[in-house]
Amino acid sequence: MLKSGDLSWPARDIITTGLHTMVRKLKHHEQKLLKKVDFLNWKQDQGHRDTTVMATYNITNREDYHKYNKICGEIRKLAHKLSLLQPTDPFRIKHEQLLLEKLYNMGILATKSKISDLENKVTVSAFCRRRIGVVMCRLRMAQNMKDANAFVEQGHVRVGPNVITDPAYLVTRNLEDYLTWVDSSKIKKNLLKYKNKIDDYDLA
């Protein structure tokens, strides 16, 4: 879950799989090449204003957009550093696989891609699509993202046993199956009534 001023999740998990563990010092020509690359500005997002993305995914906190963008930059930086190693380097092979698996498990990558695909597939929008309200709409738990976010903020939604009240919560691929209504939620009871599946036990 993204908190103001905190990039510990999911950036920390991603970065510690490679960026912080890369102990080989870059050579002079590699450092020069690295300086010429703008990791924080993705080509895919240059044609989109942050307000457009925010409106599309009903994001009310602009800081969330910038945090996603920064995380994308860190991922790009890590992928670029790995690409500077020889293709047969065991370290590169291991950490490319770890990075790709992490992004796939998070739901950022729809398929198990290759490292060269990250620039096109790891975008701010890809992170936005894992926000709990967006996932709820895809699962038809809400008609629109505004309603979905309101349900979350009002405490109607849980992931597993945990009640989620932050619309910025990112739902991973595995946790998506555990996204549901709180048992005491009036929304859940109304849905059950509508489907004629409610009984006295459910109302107790």
Question: Which pLDDT tens digits describe the chain residue by residue (204 residues)?
Answer: 443 343 334 444 544 444 444 434 555 555 555 555 554 454 554 545 688 999 999 999 999 999 999 999 999 999 999 999 999 999 999 999 999 999 999 999 988 788 888 878 899 999 999 999 999 999 999 999 999 999 999 999 999 999 999 999 999 999 999 999 999 888 888 877 766 655 555 555
Please tell me the predicted confidence (pLDDT) of residue 15: 44
**How far apart, in whole angstroms, are the C-alpha atoms of residue 187 and residue 185?**
5
Classify residue 21 by burial, with Cβ atoms within 10 Å: 0-12, 13-18, 19+. exposed
**How far apart, in whole angstroms, are the C-alpha atoms of residue 61 and residue 50?**
11
Q: How far is the CA of 48 from the CAs of 43, 45, 58, 117, in angstroms?
A: 10, 5, 15, 20
**How far apart, in whole angstroms, are the C-alpha atoms of residue 191 and residue 181?**
10
pTM over 0.85? The answer is no
Residue 19, CB-side half-sphere exposure with 13 Å CA sphere: 16
Please tell me the predicted confidence (pLDDT) of residue 196: 62
